[in-house]
Each structure stands twice: as structure tokens, then as C-alpha cells.
Chains A and B, each alone.
Chain A
Amino acid sequence: MTAPAFEEFLSLSVDLTAFEETDLLGTGLAHQYLAKVRDACGEEVVTALLDAYRAARAEATGDDGRPDPRRLDRALRHRVFSDERLGPVARNVIKLWYAGTWYGLPPEWTDCYGARPAAETSTVTAASYQEGLLWRAIAANPPGAKAPGYGSWAQPPRIDPRYRKGQGHDGTG
């Protein structure tokens, strides 16, 4: 795999997960995850996903050289999430980072773009379950790993206040 593709995959993953690059590298699994996406969807799809992401960033980037969050959100929705081919793959990348599991792509996707053996639902490695970002997002440990210590469960959760807003009902952020 090429180094620029890896860098772009990381950058895409930062935007998809809202975890920093050091956090993603800190799972020790970033290379394996990119390889998993390639194995499951094929090189062509990965290239198209990264191309679309690059285009979305470019579209959202203003004169100051930084992407505007609202424009980036729209560009990602238009170019990636709503795309028949790329949308399910991008959603799978999010779930891969959050759960450590590659979920099988929906049948309508595989009907159109082909089913590969590696596309079945699977954990990437024994470590990938433990490194799921989901657990950090809810200030808990993956059950069976990364224990927090005796009695810590009696304390309030260490959840950053900015993720507590919107309590009550859904509302897209």
C-alpha cells in the first residue's frame, strides 16, 4: 500500500470518527484496518473513497486553507455518504474503528459491486475488539479488557461535557 493512501485514510478516519490521529494510531491497528477495507472492497473502491474524500475537503476549504466544518459536512454527505458505492463503505469504516469489527456489506452493495470472501463480518484481530473507539466514547472499557480498577464503577463516568449535550433526544450535531 502506498504511504499517501495511508495518510489520506487516516485523515478520512479522523473526520469520520472525531478521534485524533494519535488516538487512531494509538490503537496500533490503522494499517490493518486499511488493509481490511482493501481486502473487503477492493483497491478500486478504496481509491474512489479517498478521491471523493479529497474532493470533499477541497470543496470545503476556504481561503484560509482550512475546511469549514459545515461545508465539509455537506460535502461528505453529498460526495460520500449518499453515494451508492462509497456510502456503505464509509459507514463500515466508522464501525470498524468504533467496534473493531468489519461488518458484512449490505446485499444490495455486494450485488452491484461484487462479494469478496474478506467482506464477511469478522473481527480483524483479537486486539481490534479491545481497541474499539466506542468504549472510549462512552468512557467505559471493552468488556473483558482495559479494566478501570476496583470500585471505579461507583464514580461518575469521565465523559467530556461536550459529548453530554443533546441529552434527551436525537438531533444531528
Chain B
Amino acid sequence: MTASTIRDRHDLIAYLHTAMALEHATIPPYLTAYYSIRSTTNSDAAHIIRVVAVEEMLHLTLAANVLNAIGGEPDLTRRGFVPTYPAYLPDGEDDFTVDLRPFSPDAVDTFCKIERPGEAPRDRARLVPEHDLARPSLVTSPTADGMRFYSIGEFYAEIIEGLEEVASHDPGLFRGDPSRQVGPEYFFSGGGTAIPVFDLDSARRALEFIADQGEGFDAGIHDEAGELAHYYRFRQLQLGRYYEVGDHPDRPSGPHLAIDWHEVYPVKVSARLADYPPDSQIAEVARAFNVEYWSFLGLLTEAFTGQPNLLQDAIWHMFRLRDGINRLVRNPLPGSGGLHAAPTFEMPIGRSTPDGPLVVGEAAAVVTP
């Protein structure tokens, strides 16, 4: 194992910003696959993907809680927060990218890779050199240039060790404003509740929860509460059966689940606004969706910076985004040979030069030509 890449609070803040970006980065792929499923079909798959997406939002919230606890400033509108798809994930290999795909075996394969349990082999370091790739990677080390993590689990392990290390010599580490913490009264889903973070112990619990729920870090396929880790939920889609408690990972023994890969809108993979005919009505709808998504990220930023009650509004916003995605994916994308439109999640980042965050009002100006 290499030496820690986290030396002080500033390093931790950088890591936690990355953690938030990572948790968010999984959401557009899940949403695209979920909403590509035709209404009232593929119930099993739809529920599995939807729940994982909701839980990623919980993880995002937990990462924000930890960042807030140490006095950081969550910001979902900062440059680079939303990746450009397709993007690489750090599983130690460079054999796959994360695309925005319709529900398909390829998409499920990618989801399994995203959530794949990944403790680095003993003879390999947690951090591996980042290949010299043209595409961006979802989880690179924010402090060690050119390095990225073997897996998401390893990434969180690094943060937890870093927190312990920094807390041991910095008694004022948890200096954040407690009123910024998002507790269970603001975020509740069937798959866990928000953990407010005030100290090392609660920070550790929040981060371990993220890692465990994603990959089943060291807990096997079910956790103590009988919850399946995300990786295994997706494995069910590959194996065609639900797991029961006690099952071997390769042999789920629960009820069968039914999948119809054809009851799916054939949305264009990782569509870009440039794929839309410039003056078409559908291009306008796609741009408007991005503006809505951008304002959603702005609302979350406000919720994470002192107004946790706004999370309720953010959920209403999410439901409206759902309706927007549904409308998009049912429209054919003109000139694409029968493919359908899809949200592009192109945020106005990377277009403006200043390093600072964009405010929501500017976003509309940048997105809408």
C-alpha cells in the first residue's frame, strides 16, 4: 500500500468534493437506463435500478454531510462536477467506460462494474497510475497527480483512514456548522436514512455505509439488516433470480425475475446536444431538460449549504425531471436511424473559463444559446 495521499483538512475537503462528484456521476447512467424502460414493463429491473439511483442520492447526501462536518462547502455546480459521458471508472482496468445507455445487458454489465467489490489485490497498491487517457475518469486522486483508485471501495477506505489520521492531530477537524447536517427527517428512503455527521465516529459510519451499500465492502451479499449491496442487486438482473439470505453469490435461489430487453426505448448512447438537429423542437426540449437539471443541482447545493429542508423541494424537482426524461426518450431523434432522444446531462461546465462555480442564473444563459 502506498503512503496516504491525505495529509490535512484541505486534502480531505478535496477528497470529499470528489466523493460527491463520484456519487453523482453514477446517477445519470442509472436514470437513463431506468427511464428507457417502457411504462408498465420490466417491473423487476425498473425497481432495482430506481432504488439504486435513490440510494446514490443518499450517498451523495452523506458525502455532503461529511464535507460539511469538516467545514467544507458542498457545491454541485462547480466545474467538472458532472462528468462528460462516456467516462472511465477506476477499477484498476481500462476496459470499460460509463456510458448513458438504454436498459440492456451492456448497461447492466456496466452497473455491475461500477458497483463491483474491489479490494485491491495484496500485491497491488490501492492507488494505481492513471493511464494517459483522453477521457476523464470518475475517481482520480485529487491530491496525487496522475493516480486513481482501484475501486470505489478503496477510494472510501482512503478517505476513512485519512479522516482518522487528520483527526488524530487536528482537534478542530469537525468544525462545520451542525445546522447544515441533513438528518433522517429530511432524507428517508427504504434503503437507509441520512446520518448526521458531527465527529469521527459518525463520519466513519456515514462513509462505511456508502461503501457497504454499494459493494458490500466486507459484509458479503447481505448486510446485517438483510439489505443486498448494489452490486448483488444488479447481479440478480444477470442471473435472473433474486437472492435469499445465505445464498452463494453465483447461485441466487429466490423468485425468478422477468426481463424483456425489447420493452425499452432505443435511446442513443451518451447522446450529446450536437446530435440533435439544431433548430428542432426536440433539441429545445433536450436543452430545457439540461437547464432544469442544472437548477436541480443548484437547489441541492442550497440544501447542502444551510437549508436542508429544501431537500423536500428537490424531490419534487426530481419527479418533474422524471417526467422530462420520459418525454425525451419517447421522441425519435431525427436523423439517427431510428434511435430515440435522451437527456445529455451537459452542464455548462467546461465552457466558461473561470474556475469558480457558476450560479444557476448563469447556467440558463450558458446552456440556452
Contact between A and B in the complex (any CB pair below 8 Å)? yes
Q: A residues within 8 Å of B by Cβ?
A: 20-23, 25-28, 125-127, 130-131, 146-152, 155
Q: Which residues of B contact A25 (CB under 8 A)?
A: 330-332
**Main SS of the interface on chain B?**
helix
Contact in complex: B319, A27 (CB < 8 Å): no
Tally of B interface residues using CB under 8 Å: 21
Contact in complex: B326, A26 (CB < 8 Å): yes
Q: B285: CB under 8 A from chain A?
A: yes
B309-348 contacts to A (CB < 8 Å): 312, 315-316, 318-320, 322-323, 326-328, 330-332
Q: Which residues of A contact B206 (CB under 8 A)?
A: none
Q: Which residues of B contact A147 (CB under 8 A)?
A: 319
- A146-B323, A149-B318 known; A28 and B38 CB under 8 Å? yes
Q: Which residues of A contact B312 (CB under 8 A)?
A: 149-151
Q: Which residues of B contact A28 (CB under 8 A)?
A: 38-39, 265, 326, 330
**Main SS of the interface on chain A?**
loop
Q: How many A-B residue pairs have CB under 8 A?
A: 50
Q: B residues within 8 Å of A by Cβ?
A: 38-40, 265, 281-282, 285, 312, 315-316, 318-320, 322-323, 326-328, 330-332
A149 to B322, CA, bound (A): 12
Closest B residue to A21 by CB, please name it: B281
Contact in complex: A149, B332 (CB < 8 Å): no
19 interchain pairs, CB-CB under 8 A: A22-B281, A25-B331, A26-B285, A26-B328, A26-B330, A27-B330, A28-B39, A28-B265, A28-B326, A28-B330, A126-B39, A127-B38, A146-B319, A146-B323, A148-B320, A149-B312, A149-B315, A149-B318, A149-B319
A146 to B321, CA, bound (A): 11
A23 to B331, CA, bound (A): 9
What 13 new A-B contacts, CB under 8 Å, besides A149-B312, A151-B312? A20-B281, A22-B281, A22-B282, A22-B331, A25-B330, A25-B331, A26-B331, A27-B330, A28-B330, A125-B40, A127-B40, A147-B319, A148-B316
